[in-house]
């Protein structure tokens, strides 16, 4: 997904310098996350007689408190009147978000869609398992070129690149190997990944915006159950999102996983400023291994987490095929992720 950057290092550096020249230096400097687009239907939402909070400024905690104070019938009616906002509202009860998205997504009647936006490249968040009773939640963050059109079918029609397919393989592996585990798996396309070939893939603006969105999403999850624990697994550019989000994630995030990562925006594991365990792997044939592990003037993403010097715990993946095979059913990486997902934090008796 960053393939154009992983030709020989000399070519990479030349392409980077060329890009700087063409941009007039405008790509230099720290990441500048773009503000999220205003929710569709915002004016009608704010004018609703039930006086809901402004979704642009209200925290997930404020939203959760608002819905908790509503009568169930009022909450249902509000979601029905404003499905575009309710269906994407961190802090709102999952059942209301599912119901709102069933109004808008043609396949949502048989699925648990926790977020859906069909504007521009689109957003999609799907839950497998029972989020209300889950002791453990695994959030999968995809990388470059992932969009709504490929959420089910995969980039270029390659299914193993599809977030929905990857989440299903992990969910199946958890159920097979740990039948008693109460785990929910989330395919989280809650941000706008960059497109391959553009300068955005060597910068972190999109990742920084994604990190803010991920932090809000996780905050909403732990409001519903402060005792649940969470694993965040980022693939490729998605691992940069996870890395930038790490300092602001709550303590319930016990594990962060980087799969085929070009870097997490820092020089080493300590730079993530998190108490979570950090895991990483890159398969022997993953071209991401040839990405220069540098970060200079806002370009590049730092040391590859799969390098021992980064300081991450190793996740097995020697039998993985290339850059997109980490969720294939036979792989040690999928088995390790399933084991990690099913393992409650030390000392938890559940």
Q: Dump pLDDT digits (tens) for 180-190.
A: 999 999 999 99
R_g (Cα) of the chain, nearest Å: 20
> pLDDT tens-digit profile of 72-96?
999 999 999 999 999 999 999 999 9
- Single pTM value for the model: 0.89
Q: What is the pLDDT of residue 298?
A: 59
Looking at 156-299, list the stretches that DSSP marks H as alpha helix, in order from N- to C-terminal side: 163-177, 205-224, 237-245
| Rounded Cα gap, residues 242 and 161, in angstroms | 18
Nearest 10 degrees: Cα torsion 210, 212, 213, 214:
80
> pLDDT tens-digit profile of 296-333?
555 667 899 999 999 999 999 999 999 999 999 999 99
- The full set of domain ranges for the chain reads 3-22+119-342, 41-110
Average pLDDT over residues 220-237: 94
Q: Which residues contact 74 (CB under 8 A, 6 or more apart)?
A: 50
Q: What is the pLDDT of residue 108?
A: 81
Q: What is the pLDDT of residue 345?
A: 76
Residue 259, H or E segment: strand 253-259
Lowest mean pLDDT among 9-23, 121-135, 206-220: 9-23
Question: Is residue 3 pLDDT above 80, yes or no?
Answer: no
Q: What is the pLDDT of residue 105?
A: 86
More confident residue, 33 or 104: 104
Nearest to 38 by CA among 102, 85, 87: 85
Assigned fold of 3-22+119-342: Rossmann fold (3.40.50)
- Which of 269-304 are b and which e, b meaning 16 or more Cβ less than 10 Å from the residue's Cβ? bebbebebbbbbbbbeebbbbebbbbbeeebbbbbb
Q: What is the pLDDT of residue 28?
A: 54
Categorize the per-residue pLDDT at 205 as very low, low, confident or very high, splitting at 50, 70 and 90. confident
> pLDDT tens-digit profile of 28-78?
566 777 777 788 899 999 999 999 999 999 999 999 999 999 999 999 999
Question: Percent of the chain at pLDDT above 90?
Answer: 74
Q: What is the 3-state secondary structure (H, E, C) of 139-176?
A: EEECCCCCCHHHCCCCHHHCHHHCHHHHHHHHHHHHHH
């Amino acid at each position: 997904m960053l393939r154009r950057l992983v030709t020989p290092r000399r070519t990479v550096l030349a392409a980077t310098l060329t890009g700087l020249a063409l941009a007039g230096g405008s790509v230099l400097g720290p990441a500048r996350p773009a503000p999220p687009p205003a929710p569709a239907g915002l004016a009608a939402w704010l004018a609703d007689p039930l006086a809901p909070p402004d979704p642009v400024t209200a925290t997930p905690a404020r939203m959760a408190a608002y819905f908790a104070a509503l009568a169930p019938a009022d909450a249902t009616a509000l979601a029905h009147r404003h499905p575009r906002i309710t269906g994407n509202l961190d802090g709102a009860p999952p059942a209301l978000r599912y119901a709102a998205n069933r109004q808008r997504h043609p396949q949502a009647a048989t699925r648990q869609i926790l977020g859906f936006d069909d504007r521009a490249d689109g957003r999609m968040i799907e839950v497998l398992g029972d989020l209300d009773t889950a002791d453990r939640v695994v959030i999968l963050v995809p990388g470059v070129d992932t969009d709504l059109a490929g959420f089910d079918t995969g980039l270029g029609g390659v299914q193993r690149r599809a977030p929905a397919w990857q989440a299903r393989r992990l969910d199946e592996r958890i159920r097979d190997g740990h039948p008693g585990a109460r785990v929910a798996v989330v395919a989280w396309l809650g941000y706008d990944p960059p497109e391959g070939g553009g300068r955005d893939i060597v910068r972190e603006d999109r990742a920084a915006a994604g990190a803010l969105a991920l932090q809000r999403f996780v905050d909403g999850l732990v409001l519903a159950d402060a005792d649940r624990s969470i694993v965040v697994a980022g693939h490729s550019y998605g691992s940069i999102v996870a890395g930038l989000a790490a300092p602001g994630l709550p303590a319930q995030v016990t594990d962060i996983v980087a799969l085929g990562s070009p870097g997490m925006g820092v020089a080493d594991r300590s730079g993530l400023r998190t108490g979570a365990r950090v895991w990483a792997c890159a398969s022997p044939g993953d071209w991401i291994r040839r990405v220069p592990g540098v970060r200079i003037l806002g370009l590049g993403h730092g040391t590859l987490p799969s390098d021992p010097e980064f300081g991450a715990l190793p996740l097995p993946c020697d039998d993985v095929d290339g850059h997109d095979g980490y969720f294939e059913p036979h792989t040690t990486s999928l088995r390790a992720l399933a084991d990690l997902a099913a393992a409650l934090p030390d000392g938890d008796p559940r």
